[in-house]
């Protein structure tokens, strides 16, 4: 069953704008990870946030985690055309931390 669900399913923005994607999940987690996928290629890990962390930054990426609401957001600031890709959240459950459950992703289009 799906654990992480991303919102929106698709997002189109102008270059230079910020992009925000949300992820909701159902059960307690050990950590939450965000991945990026360029069209038809393998996923690339972006950032991992542990359940005891609330916010994390990496370059133009900012991730927040609210365990009380079982939700996370990924913010990409000053977007570039090269950021066009699909973005997936993946949750590592507390009861089976070896296993990552992926959501169905947000397709981001950054228009030049």
Partner 1 sequence: EAQVTQNPRYLITVTGKKLTVTCSQNMNHEYMSWYRQDPGLGLRQIYYSMNVEVTDKGDVPEGYKVSRKEKRNFPLILESPSPNQTSLYFCASRGQNNSPLHFGNGTRLTVT
- Quick count: other Cβ atoms within 10 Å of Cβ 96? 11
Partners of 11 in beta bridges: 108
Part of the chain binding partner 1 (CB under 8 A), chosen from 12-20, 55-63, 75-83, 103-111: 103-111
The reply to whether 2 sits near partner 1 by the rule CB under 8 A is yes
Q: What is the contact mask toward partner 1 in residues 50 to 89, using x (rule: CB under 8 A)? A: --------------------------------------x-
**Pairing, β 10-14 against β 106-111:** parallel
User: Which residues bind to partner 1, rule: CB under 8 A?
Assistant: 1-2, 30-31, 33, 35, 40-45, 48, 88, 90, 92, 97-105
């Amino acid at each position: 069953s799906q654990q992480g669900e991303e919102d929106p399913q698709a997002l189109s923005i102008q270059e230079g704008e910020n992009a925000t994607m949300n992820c909701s999940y159902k059960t307690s987690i050990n950590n939450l990870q965000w991945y990026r996928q360029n069209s038809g290629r393998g996923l690339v890990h972006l950032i991992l946030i542990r359940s005891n962390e609330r916010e994390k930054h990496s370059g133009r990426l900012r991730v927040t985690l609210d365990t009380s609401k079982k939700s996370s957001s990924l913010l990409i600031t000053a977007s570039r055309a090269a950021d066009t890709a699909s973005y997936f959240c993946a949750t590592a459950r507390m009861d089976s931390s070896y296993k990552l459950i992926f959501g169905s992703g947000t397709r981001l289009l950054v228009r030049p």
